[in-house]
Structure 1
Amino acid sequence: MKFCSTCGATVEFRVPQGDSLPRHVCGSCGDIHYQNPKIVVGALPEWEDRILLCRRAIEPRLGKWTLPAGFMENAESTAQGAARETLEEACARIEVGDIYTLIDVPHINQVHIIYRARLLDLDFRPGEESLEVALFREADIPWNEIAFRTIAMTMRHYFEDRRSGRWSFHTGIVTPDMPLP
C-alpha cells in the first residue's frame, strides 16, 4: 500500500503508537490501514452416500476439483457465505449444517471454514466459476486432481468420520511445505 484510501496521502509502514506490529499509517490524516486474514467459506454438500464437487473454471488451480467455496462477503454470516458460494459455483441449493472444518492457512493469510450441508435436490449445474459439477462416492473421488490442501483434508476427515459413525469438528493448519493433494 502506497497511498491512504481515506485522504490520498502517502502512507508509512511503521508500528503505530499503542500497537505491536507494523501497519500502513497515513502521515497526513493518521488513519491506520489494517490488513487482516481473509475468510474462505464453503460447504461439503451431501446427497445420500455422495458429495458434490466442482471443477474449477478459474485460477488458481484451473481444472482441478474442489468443494464449493470462496471468499466471505461483508454483511453475511459464514453460513450465508457457504450457501451463496454453493449457489454461485454449483447452482445448488443446500441446507447448511454445522461447521465441519476450520483450517488456518497463515502463509497466504487465510482461514478456511467448511460446513457440512445437505443438498435440497439434484437440480445443480456449473456456475460461472465451474467447468462441471458432479456427485462423487468416496471410491470415485479424483484425489490427484483436488485443487487445495484444505479441501483434501476436509474430505479425508469426512470419509473417516462417516466410516466410524462419529462426527467431529476438525481444526488444522496448512503450511506451504505440505504436499498438494
Structure 2
Amino acid sequence: MLFARRIEHCQVCGTPVEHKVPADDNRERAVCPSCGHVHYVNPLNVVGTLPVWGDQVLLCKRNIEPRKGFWTLPAGFMELGETTAEGAARETDEEAGAHIELGDLYCVINVVSAGQVHLFYRARLLDTEFAPGPETMEARLFHRHEIPWDDLAFRTVRMTLDRYFADRETGQFGIHCADIR
C-alpha cells in the first residue's frame, strides 16, 4: 500500500484484522477474523474550483497543514451526501467565502501515491468580495504574471493553472485528465 490509510481494527466489531486476499478478490484487504467483514480502502475525492474574475484567478493561502502558507485553488475533500459539483461549490465558499457561478468540470487528476482523485470545476466569480474561512489566511485575485508559482501548494494546482492559461490563449476549454504517480 502506497499511502498511510492502513486498517488495523475492524470498523464493525473492533477485532484486530488480518491482511489477506479474500477468496473472491484479487487484492489484499483488511479482513476481520471474527465477523468476516472485508474492509475496502478506496481513493478519496478532492473537489474544488478554478474561480475566475476577468483575466484573474482566485487563490487561497493555506492556514492548515499540509503546505500551510502556500497558495492553492479552493478545494477539499468531498463529503458523503453531495455531488462533486456541490462539494466544489461548498469548498469554494468555506475556503474563500467566494460567490461563484459553477461551470463545467475542467480537470481530473489522479494522485495515485496519495490515494486521491482531484476534480476541479471552472467557476465565474460573481463579485470580488471574499470572506476566507479558518483554513485560509488570505484569498486574493492574481493575474497570470502575479501568481506565486514557486509557492503553490500542490502539483495538481499548478497543472490546472497551466492548462487554464494555455486554454485561455486558444479560447477552447475542454476537460483535462492527468495522472501523478
The answer to whether the superposition gives a TM-score over 0.5 is yes
Please list the CA deviations of residues 9-63 of structure 1 after superposition, one character each: whole Å capped at 9, or x if unmatched: 2210001111000000011111111000111000000111111100000111111
1:155 is aligned to: 161
* AA of the residue aligned to 1:49: D
Q: 1:103 aligns with which of 102, 106, 109?
A: 109
Please list the CA deviations of residues 71-99 of structure 1 after superposition, one character each: whole Å capped at 9, or x if unmatched: 00000000000000000100112111111
2:38 is aligned to: 32
The gaps in structure 1 that reach 5 residues or longer are 176-181
2:3 is aligned to: none
* AA of the residue aligned to 2:161: M
Q: 1:2 aligns with which of 5, 8, 17?
A: 8
1:122 aligns with 2:128: yes
Percent identity between the aligned chains? Answer: 54
**1:44-83 correspondence to structure 2 within 5 Å:** 44-83=50-89
1:178 is aligned to: none
User: Could you tell me how far apart the structure 1 residues matched to 2:66 and 2:8 are?
Assistant: 26
User: Could you tell me how far apart the structure 2 residues matched to 1:129 and 1:78 are?
Assistant: 20
Q: 1:165 aligns with which of 171, 175, 180?
A: 171
Task: Report the Cα offset of residue 125 of structure 1.
Answer: 2.5
* AA of the residue aligned to 1:37: P
Aligned structure 1 segments of 4 or more residues deviating by more than 6 angstroms:
none
User: Could you tell me how far apart the structure 1 residues matched to 2:155 and 2:8 are?
Assistant: 33
1:87 aligns with 2:93: yes
Q: 1:23 aligns with which of 16, 29, 42?
A: 29
The gaps in structure 2 that reach 5 residues or longer are 1-6
Task: Report the Cα offset of residue 2 of structure 1.
Answer: 2.0
Give the SS at the match of 1:123.
coil
1:174 aligns with 2:180: yes
User: Could you tell me how far apart the structure 1 residues matched to 2:101 and 2:160 are?
Assistant: 18
Scaled by the length of structure 2, the TM-score of the pair is 0.94
User: Could you tell me how far apart the structure 1 residues matched to 2:14 and 2:23 are?
Assistant: 21
Scaled by the length of structure 1, the TM-score of the pair is 0.94
User: Could you tell me how far apart the structure 1 residues matched to 2:131 and 2:19 are?
Assistant: 46
Task: Report the Cα offset of residue 121 of structure 1.
Answer: 1.7
User: Could you tell me how far apart the structure 1 residues matched to 2:65 and 2:94 are?
Assistant: 16
1:179 is aligned to: none
**Across the two proteins, how many residue pairs are aligned to each other?**
175
Q: 1:42 aligns with which of 41, 48, 54?
A: 48
* AA of the residue aligned to 1:63: G
